[in-house]
C-alpha cells in the first residue's frame, strides 16, 4: 500500500510516514494551492481594472502642447502669424513713407538749388531710414 511512497523518498533508510501525516501534508498543500489560486484571481482582477482605467484614459486623452512650440501650438502660431502680418504692413507703410519723403525732399532740393547739383534722393532716404531705425 505504501510502496509508491517509499520509492519517491531520497533516503531509503528513512522510516515511512504514516498515512495521517501524508494526509495532513496533502491537506496543507491543497489549502496553499487554493490560496495561490485566490491570489492569482485577485491579481487578474487588478490587471483587468488597470487595463480598463488605461483604455478609459486613452479615450479621453487631451494632448497638451508647449506654449513655446509655435509650430504645433495653435494660439502661438496665430499670434506669430499676426505679428508677421503686422510687421509686413509696418514695412510697407514705412517704405511708402520713405518714397513720399524722398520725393518731397528731392522736390525741395531741386527747388532750392535749382540745377546746381543733381540729387538722386537716396541721401535723404538713407537719413530717414537711419532716423527710423533709432
Give yes or no: residues 55 and 81 share one domain: no
pLDDT in single tens digits along all 134 residues of the chain: 455 555 566 777 778 788 999 999 999 999 999 999 999 999 999 999 999 999 998 888 776 766 666 667 777 778 888 898 888 888 877 776 666 666 666 666 666 655 444 555 555 555 555 554 44
Eight-class DSSP state of 18: P
Q: Domain total for the chain?
A: 2
Give yes or no: residues 95 and 126 share one domain: yes
Q: Which pTM value belongs to this model?
A: 0.37
Give yes or no: residues 80 and 49 share one domain: no
Is the residue at 94 inside a domain?
yes
For residue 55, give the C-alpha cell: 483604455
Is the residue at 65 inside a domain?
no
Is the residue at 69 inside a domain?
no
CA distance 1 to 16: 12
Can you give the residue range of the structural domain that contains 85? 74-111+119-133
Residue of 87, 99, 84 whose CA lies nearest to 129: 99
Is the residue at 3 inside a domain?
no
Give yes or no: residues 87 and 129 share one domain: yes
Amino acid at each position: 500500500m505504501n510502496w509508491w511512497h517509499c520509492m519517491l523518498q531520497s533516503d531509503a533508510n528513512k522510516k515511512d510516514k504514516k498515512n495521517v501525516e501524508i494526509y495532513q501534508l496533502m491537506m496543507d498543500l491543497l489549502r496553499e494551492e487554493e490560496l495561490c489560486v485566490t491570489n492569482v484571481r485577485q491579481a487578474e482582477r487588478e490587471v483587468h481594472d488597470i487595463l480598463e482605467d488605461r483604455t478609459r484614459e486613452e479615450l479621453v486623452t487631451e494632448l497638451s502642447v508647449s506654449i513655446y512650440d509655435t509650430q504645433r501650438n495653435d494660439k502661438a502660431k496665430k499670434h506669430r502669424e499676426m505679428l508677421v502680418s503686422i510687421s509686413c504692413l509696418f514695412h510697407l507703410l514705412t517704405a511708402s513713407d520713405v518714397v513720399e519723403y524722398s520725393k518731397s525732399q528731392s522736390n525741395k532740393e531741386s527747388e532750392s538749388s535749382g540745377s546746381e547739383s543733381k540729387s538722386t534722393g537716396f541721401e535723404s532716404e538713407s537719413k530717414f531710414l537711419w532716423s527710423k531705425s533709432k
